Amino acid sequence: MTLTTPTLHDQAKAANTASRRLAATSTEVKNAALIAIAEAIEASRESILRTNEQDLEAAKRDNIDFQLLERMTLNNARVKAMADAARDIAALEDPIGEILEKRVLPNGLDLERIRVPLGVIGVIYESRPNVTIDIATLTLKAGNGVVLRGGKECILTNTVLAGIVKNAIENAGIPRDAVQFVETTDRALVKEMLEMDDVIDLMIPRGSAELVNFVGQNARMPAITGGVGVCHTYVDVTANIEDAVNIVVNAKTERPTVCNALDTVLVHQSIAREFLPKLATEFGVHEVELRADGRAMSILDALADGGKVVPAQSNDFGTEFLSLVASVKIVDSMDEAMDHIAEFGSKHSEAIIAEDSAVVEHFLNEVDSGAVFANTSTYFNDGAQFGLGAEVAVSTNKLHARGPMGLKEITTYKWKVRGHGQVRK
């Protein structure tokens, strides 16, 4: 007997078939599978870390950029976080079967609109192994099949993680075909995957703007083509200076390689002389390079000798740095700050720091972004932080989902119509 390797279409078709069974699976069985995934991750921690080290060594030999290397690195805390996310999702209410609308029409027809799974979700992503677990567990709880295509940088780690998931769900009574992982790194398969609208219902790219744009231009099925984060924080004239420094530093330095990290600080001219030197000093402690516009540079010029404050170039605004670099611009008003955000932002995460509640509400209401924040860090724009358990993506789209995408964002609905012999004339 000759065994043949399944094609990508075979895998997606298998996920599609399994998704129909999964759609009818009880919440109890799905939750048991999620707990089994968490336990299997914890039991496999040492082998996961050993495999991840192999990926890291190969990436270093290939001179992978720092931000990609940081994203793909696992440690004990990050492995634990993956297991915790699976348990958190198990604890969430199951959205499937939720009655969104119910009424009886004048002709006696009984009408219901209920929440149902999307079907099969395809995800193309780059270097973060936690994405494998986050997406597999979310899609499982929402009753969807999934086809995962990770990048070459973390192929060994992601292959191991996908195998852990498949074994755990099979042992819990869910078809292992519901989770498919593409083990080859052949880039030609990305284009092929984008053409499989017969078996994949939604495509989600997670990674660079180049990847997101490629998916948007080539996907035959609906796609989440946003997600790149160019994130601003506006420091208003009414801001508490100490709070502003702490918030901006957190947004930039806690994890600079993620999409919700701060990129640009906009500062009201009335407080710039007080605020900017304090910010630059704190940024210096964290080795952040601050790229300042002309007015900000005139205030910070004395600090420029250390090499961490430099004049901004035009492309320093509207750039997602994903590193310890931030730009700063002085503005004359909140309206100017909002105009700047409208021009250079990516509708991902925008923040204001202000004590005046009217100013805060004006900003929150007018700024067009998936998430807007007041007096806190953009680093909170995250599915787990929003109580969603995890996220399949942070969408900057307006249809069909926006912001962190959790369980409900990967469902759709259908109408149930019950009659008593009515006919339409």
Residue numbers of the domain that contains 290: 231-380
The predicted structure's pLDDT at residue 68: 85
User: Which H or E run contains 234?
Assistant: strand 231-235
User: Does one domain contain both 46 and 171?
Assistant: yes
The predicted structure's pLDDT at residue 304: 60
C-beta of residue 405 within 8 angstroms of C-beta of residue 226: no
CATH code at 239?
3.40.309.10
The predicted structure's pLDDT at residue 2: 43
Residue with tokens 């900057």: 396
Model confidence at 1, in pLDDT bands (50, 70, 90)? very low
The predicted structure's pLDDT at residue 399: 84
Residues 6+ apart with CB under 8 A from 66: 257, 323
For residue 115, give the 3-state DSSP assignment. strand
Model confidence at 234, in pLDDT bands (50, 70, 90)? very high
User: Does one domain contain both 335 and 412?
Assistant: no
Q: What is the mean pLDDT of residues 189-197?
A: 94
Please state whether the peptide bond connecting residue 268 to the residue before it is cis, i.e. omega within 30 degrees of 0.
Answer: no
The predicted structure's pLDDT at residue 46: 97
Q: Regarding beta strands 110-117 and 231-235, do their DSSP bridges make them parallel or antiparallel, or are they unpaired?
A: unpaired
C-beta of residue 84 within 8 angstroms of C-beta of residue 386: no
User: Does one domain contain both 35 and 142?
Assistant: yes
Q: What is the mean pLDDT of residues 417-422?
A: 96
User: Does one domain contain both 34 and 99?
Assistant: yes
Residue type, 234: Y
C-beta of residue 385 within 8 angstroms of C-beta of residue 220: no
Residue 174 exposure: Cα atoms within 13 Å on the Cβ side: 35
Query: What percent of the chain has a predicted confidence (pLDDT) above 90?
Result: 87
Structure-block tokens of residue 327:
């730009």
Cα–Cα separations (whole angstroms), residue 48 to 38, 130, 179: 13, 12, 19
C-beta of residue 114 within 8 angstroms of C-beta of residue 103: no
User: Does one domain contain both 124 and 97?
Assistant: yes
Mean pLDDT (the chain) is 94
Closest C-alpha among 333, 332, 331 to residue 317: 331
The whole-model pTM stands at: 0.89
Structure-block tokens of residue 30:
């799905």
Model confidence at 227, in pLDDT bands (50, 70, 90)? confident
Structure-block tokens of residue 47:
């082998």
Residue 1 lies in a domain: no
Residue 149 lies in a domain: yes
User: Does one domain contain both 77 and 55?
Assistant: yes
C-beta of residue 214 within 8 angstroms of C-beta of residue 60: no
Helix crossing, 334-344 with 357-366: angle to 10°?
A: 20
pLDDT per residue as tens digits for the range 72-84:
999 999 999 999 9
Residues 6+ apart with CB under 8 A from 7: none
Neighbours of 422 (CB within 10 A): 10
The distance from CA 385 to its chain's CA centroid, rounded to whole angstroms, is 12
CATH code at 53?
3.40.605.10
C-beta of residue 33 within 8 angstroms of C-beta of residue 140: yes
User: Does one domain contain both 153 and 187?
Assistant: yes
Helix crossing, 130-141 with 155-171: angle to 10°?
A: 30
The predicted structure's pLDDT at residue 398: 86
pLDDT per residue as tens digits for the range 96-134:
999 999 999 999 999 999 999 999 999 999 878 999 999
Residue 392 lies in a domain: no
The predicted structure's pLDDT at residue 188: 87
The predicted structure's pLDDT at residue 156: 96
Residue type, 347: K
User: Does one domain contain both 168 and 69?
Assistant: yes
More confident residue, 126 or 339: 339
Residue 401 lies in a domain: yes
Residue 385 lies in a domain: no
Residue 389 lies in a domain: no
The predicted structure's pLDDT at residue 239: 98
Q: How many angstroms separate the CA atoms of 143 and 19, rounded?
A: 7
Q: What is the mean pLDDT of residues 171-196?
A: 94
Residue 390 lies in a domain: no
Neighbours of 374 (CB within 10 A): 14
Would you say residue 276 has pLDDT above 60? yes
User: Does one domain contain both 86 and 169?
Assistant: yes
Model confidence at 262, in pLDDT bands (50, 70, 90)? very high
Would you say residue 261 has pLDDT above 70? yes
Q: What is the mean pLDDT of residues 293-320?
A: 87
User: Does one domain contain both 102 and 176?
Assistant: yes
Q: How many angstroms separate the CA atoms of 231 and 318, rounded?
A: 9
Residue 2 lies in a domain: no
Closest C-alpha among 104, 126, 133, 95 to residue 410: 95
C-beta of residue 137 within 8 angstroms of C-beta of residue 37: yes
Residues 6+ apart with CB under 8 A from 157: 48, 51, 52, 55, 72, 74, 129
pLDDT per residue as tens digits for the range 46-72:
999 999 999 999 999 999 888 889 889
C-beta of residue 156 within 8 angstroms of C-beta of residue 55: yes
User: Does one domain contain both 134 and 205?
Assistant: yes
More confident residue, 399 or 205: 205
Residue type, 160: V
C-beta of residue 120 within 8 angstroms of C-beta of residue 15: yes
> What is the tally of structural domains in the chain?
2
Closest C-alpha among 37, 130, 49 to residue 87: 37
Q: What is the mean pLDDT of residues 211-237?
A: 93
Query: What percent of the chain has a predicted confidence (pLDDT) above 70?
Result: 98
User: Does one domain contain both 322 and 296?
Assistant: yes
Would you say residue 157 has pLDDT above 70? yes
Would you say residue 3 has pLDDT above 50? no
Residues 6+ apart with CB under 8 A from 349: 229, 231, 260, 369, 370, 371, 372, 373, 378, 381
